Amino acid sequence: MAMATHSHLPKRRRVCPAAGAPIDELPDELLFLVLDRVAAADPRALKSFALASRACHAAESRHRRVLRPYRADLLRAALARYPTAARLDLTLCARVPGAALSSAPVPSLRAVDLSRSRGFGAPGLAALVAACPALADLDLSNGVDLGDAAAAELARARGLQRLCLSRCKPITDMGLGCIAVGCPDLRDLTLNWCLGITDLGIQLLALKCNKLRNLHLSYTMISKDCLPAIMKLPNLEVLALVGCVGIDDDALSGLENESSKSLRVLDMSTCRNVTHTGVSSVVKAVPNLLELNLSYCCNVTASMGKCFQMLPKLQTLKLEGCKFMADGLKHIGISCVSLRELSLSKCSGVTDTDLSFVVSRLKNLLKLDITCNRNITDVSLAAITSSCHSLISLRIESCSHFSSEGLRLIGKRCCHLEELDITDSDLDDEGLKALSGCSKLSSLKIGICMRISDQGLIHIGKSCPELRDIDLYRSGGISDEGVTQIAQGCPMLESINLSYCTEITDVSLMSLSKCAKLNTLEIRGCPSISSAGLSEIAIGCRLLAKLDVKKCFAINDVGMFFLSQFSHSLRQINLSYCSVTDIGLLSLSSICGLQNMTIVHLAGITPNGLLAALMVSGGLTRVKLHAAFRSMMPPHMLKVVEARGCAFQWIDKPFKVEQERCDIWQQQSRDVLVR
């Protein structure tokens, strides 16, 4: 039978590729938008995009602004491949030889981060400065071997605006003087823990670098002699003097004749030689201060509270760990009516009467931290929730006298909350139901809350779509149903802690695998979790960077195979007490960016298997092992691994697999805090 022809139907027109808009012909602006979307979903997909065509390859080369190589020997090729990169992040390279920093000129490179790298010295820095004429931002934190010779080479980077030298202890005033003379455009300088720096170096710095805005001198040996010079810096906005033992009342009293109208942020926390007298002196010298940190510094007296009247613009006051004397807190409420943030964490002497008075005065308070204030009750909580309707952050961890009824007031009255920490509290499901009214929550910490269950979490999952971080540590009433509701209702989730939630199974991990932005997963002490669930996480959560599966006894080599294949963003893992063997560990070591690994009490690991994995894992910077392995492995091989920049931490703990009951652990933790 002949086939009928449908001549009455219009002919289907054949569209050739050239008739549309081939990707090769799209302008860079559109290609870059596509690349931004691709990178946000899965950074590894950029490589696939670049392989699509020559035009895609060229566009991806022009688009990339940040380079983060896994190994130093890839640096030269990466710079050649991406000539327009502006930032070079070498934090994944534990060891960067000086020769690796010597390359052809890279005129576009403006920022370099070497904060976690070793192996280079003054010659390497000289090569880096010569190759990057536009260098403006350099982080050399933890450069414990960098001294004055290295500082002299840095002085050649005339355009340097931000320099971080934290813990570069060999640098002295001579090296700092070179930097001060050679880099007059410095805006941001960090010298924390530079123990060779004294007043002389800081005085020269203040003389030559008058464009400084941020100066961090924490834990240095400076004293009163350099403070007047610092206060004369015309553009200084941020000054950090944390833990400076040479800063005392005498040093601060010399500032009474000085005045810095530009200073906005002052951090004198842990300056234990400062009393309320010194605080009164410094307050007079900085009339435009916006933020003041006096944590663990001195007793808060009534006279000290009164002196804050001289800071009418003060918005942030941090007094963590301080002892409040009579009326000290009350006068803060009278003097600091402009406060937006108040931190009273771990303070003593805080009462319901004083705290209620303070919050009644601070109508515009946005952030409040009263962690571990165990003497306050629902009276304070009622005052906080009735007075501070604009709160976006509330931290009340371990405030043990708050009742479940009091906690419900938070959800009913503070609907603008974005961050809430009520760890170790009497929170129940009705409280979670009330908290579901805080639809803007992005961080919720409700660990060690023994009275919550899946029914309460269901309300959070349905009402808080912006949640990014949730902590359910040791909340024993949580099971798969509650976790599933969170995973389904909170697609933006980035971090979740389910440690010692012993009722959860692989079903929870399967639901969490749909949260594509998840980067931190803590499931320590969950015995029903297996490699089946972990494999789902590896496949679905490609951005996973931190994983803790300690005491997940059913996780074995299969889980490691999936991690090695899909979790290329993994940086930190704890495998203690798991069922992983040499094969799984060796498979895991193929992840180039893996830096931190804890593998204590792995019965399936042998010295030879461990050594093989360590030799293959070129990016490791820290490994925690049982001390028994130390004598079983050749010392010269361990030195080879250490020479690449890996530090070993040897743990001598007995093998222990039983689970701690949540209620016993809770009581023990409270006893420790009380002491």
The three state secondary structure string of 623-636 is EEEEHHHHHCCCHH
Q: How confident is the model at residue 24 (pLDDT cuts 50, 70, 90)?
A: low
- Tens digits of residue pLDDT in 195-210: 999 999 999 999 999 9
In whole angstroms, give the CA distance from residue 231 to residue 294.
Answer: 19
Residue 353 has pLDDT above 80, yes or no: yes
Q: Do 182 and 207 form a contact (C-beta atoms < 8 A)?
A: no
Positive or negative, the CA dihedral 140, 146, 148, 154 is negative
**Mean pLDDT for the chain?**
90
pLDDT of residue 2: 40
pLDDT of residue 619: 87
What is the distance, to the nearest Å, from the Cα of residue 1 to the centroid of all Cα atoms in its chain?
Answer: 75
Least confident of 11-20, 43-52, 331-340: 11-20
pLDDT of residue 19: 41
- Tens digits of residue pLDDT in 370-420: 999 989 999 999 999 999 989 999 999 999 899 999 999 999 999 999 999
In whole angstroms, give the CA distance from residue 466 to residue 477.
Answer: 24
Calculate mean pLDDT across residues 84-106. Answer: 88
Does residue 308 or residue 37 have the better pLDDT? 308
Least confident of 22-36, 129-143, 353-367, 393-407: 22-36
Does residue 38 or residue 283 have the better pLDDT? 283
| Buried b / exposed e along 294-328 (16+ C-beta atoms within 10 A) | bbbbbebbbebbbbbeebeebbbbbbbbbebbebb
Calculate mean pLDDT across residues 177-192. Answer: 97
Q: How confident is the model at residue 53 (pLDDT cuts 50, 70, 90)?
A: confident
In whole angstroms, give the CA distance from residue 344 to residue 244.
Answer: 22
* % of the chain with per-residue pLDDT over 90: 76
Residue position matching structure tokens 């320099």: 163
Q: State the DSSP string of 435-473.
A: HTT-TT--EEE-TT-TB--HHHHHHHHHH-TT--EEE-T
pLDDT of residue 164: 98
Cα→Cα distances 49→34, 46, 437, Å: 10, 5, 42
Q: Tell me which DSSP letter residue 527 carries.
A: T
Neighbouring CB atoms inside 10 A of 89's CB total 18
Length of the chain: 675
Residue 668 has pLDDT above 60, yes or no: no
Tell me what percent of the chain is helix, strand and coil, each rounded to the nearest 5: 40, 15, 50
pLDDT of residue 12: 40
pLDDT of residue 258: 80
pLDDT of residue 4: 42
pLDDT of residue 384: 96
Residue 11 has pLDDT above 50, yes or no: no
Residue 435 has pLDDT above 50, yes or no: yes
Q: Is 137 helix (H, G, I), strand (E, B) or coil?
A: strand
Give every CB contact of residue 3 below 8 A, 6+ residues apart in sequence: none
Calculate mean pLDDT across residues 6-10. Answer: 41
pLDDT of residue 195: 95
In whole angstroms, give the CA distance from residue 38 to residue 333.
Answer: 50
pLDDT of residue 653: 81
Q: Do 315 and 290 form a contact (C-beta atoms < 8 A)?
A: yes
Q: What is the pTM of this model?
A: 0.89
Q: State the DSSP string of 491-524.
A: TT--EEE-TT-TT--HHHHHHHTT-TT--EEE-T
Q: How confident is the model at residue 658 (pLDDT cuts 50, 70, 90)?
A: low
Give every CB contact of residue 617 below 8 A, 6+ residues apart in sequence: 589, 594, 597
Q: How confident is the model at residue 476 (pLDDT cuts 50, 70, 90)?
A: confident
Residue 341 has pLDDT above 60, yes or no: yes
Residue 474 has pLDDT above 80, yes or no: yes
Does residue 655 or residue 318 have the better pLDDT? 318
pLDDT of residue 6: 42
Residue 136 has pLDDT above 90, yes or no: yes
Strand (E) or helix (H) holding 79: helix 75-81
Q: How confident is the model at residue 660 (pLDDT cuts 50, 70, 90)?
A: low
Q: How confident is the model at residue 661 (pLDDT cuts 50, 70, 90)?
A: low
Cα→Cα distances 461→74, 421, 432, 466, 505, Å: 44, 17, 10, 10, 19
In whole angstroms, give the CA distance from residue 407 to residue 419.
Answer: 15
Among residues 196, 205, 151, the alpha carbon closest in space to that of 172 is found at 196
Residue 5 has pLDDT above 50, yes or no: no
Calculate mean pLDDT across residues 574-597. Answer: 94
In whole angstroms, give the CA distance from residue 185 to residue 154.
Answer: 13
